[in-house]
Homo-oligomer: A and B are copies of this chain.
Amino acid sequence: MQKIHNLSKNQKIIFDLIDKSGGPMKAYSILFNVQKKGIKAPLQVYRALDKLVEIGKIHKIESRNAFIACQNSSCQVSKATAFSICESCENVSEISNSKLSKYLSNFSDNSGMKYSKYNLEFFGLCKKCKSK
């Protein structure tokens, strides 16, 4: 049973923008794009982003300081994320591979640490960029 999150006005504006863009967006680029909708300040953007990340509607691509809509319908909370990133064209996609996620979710070592969350970023060249 999972909680339904009704997005607030600003959250919805910002989620829709990121979702429609189809790729990662940076916070100040988001800000620029939503100013005509009345969102004027960085903090308004960051607050919405924080919430959207918290509920798993978007993820932060840490190596790029950018935010992407969740492409994995089962990813309700951002506790186990994996991305592939093309170092040439900067295309990003969310990897949804159940073997990988099982392997990582069950990973443990002898450090005595209990892992509750992970983020994995793969880098390389995408199909298009490889063939250039």
- Asked if A107 and B126 sit within 8 Å, CB to CB, the answer is no
- Residues of B contacting A36 in the complex (Cβ-Cβ under 8 angstroms): none
Count residues on chain A whose CB falls below 8 Å from chain B CBs: 31
Answer whether residue A100 sits at the interface, using C-beta atoms and an 8 A cutoff. yes
Stretch at the interface among A5-13, A27-35, A109-117: A109-117
Answer whether residue A127 sits at the interface, using C-beta atoms and an 8 A cutoff. yes
8 A Cβ contacts from A38-90 to B: 62-63, 84, 86-87
Give the B-binding residues of A (Cβ under 8 A). Answer: 62-63, 84, 86-87, 93, 95, 97, 100, 103-104, 107, 109, 111-127, 130
A-B contacts, 14 of them at CB < 8 A, read A62-B62, A62-B63, A100-B107, A104-B120, A113-B124, A114-B130, A115-B124, A117-B122, A117-B123, A117-B124, A118-B120, A118-B123, A119-B120, A119-B121
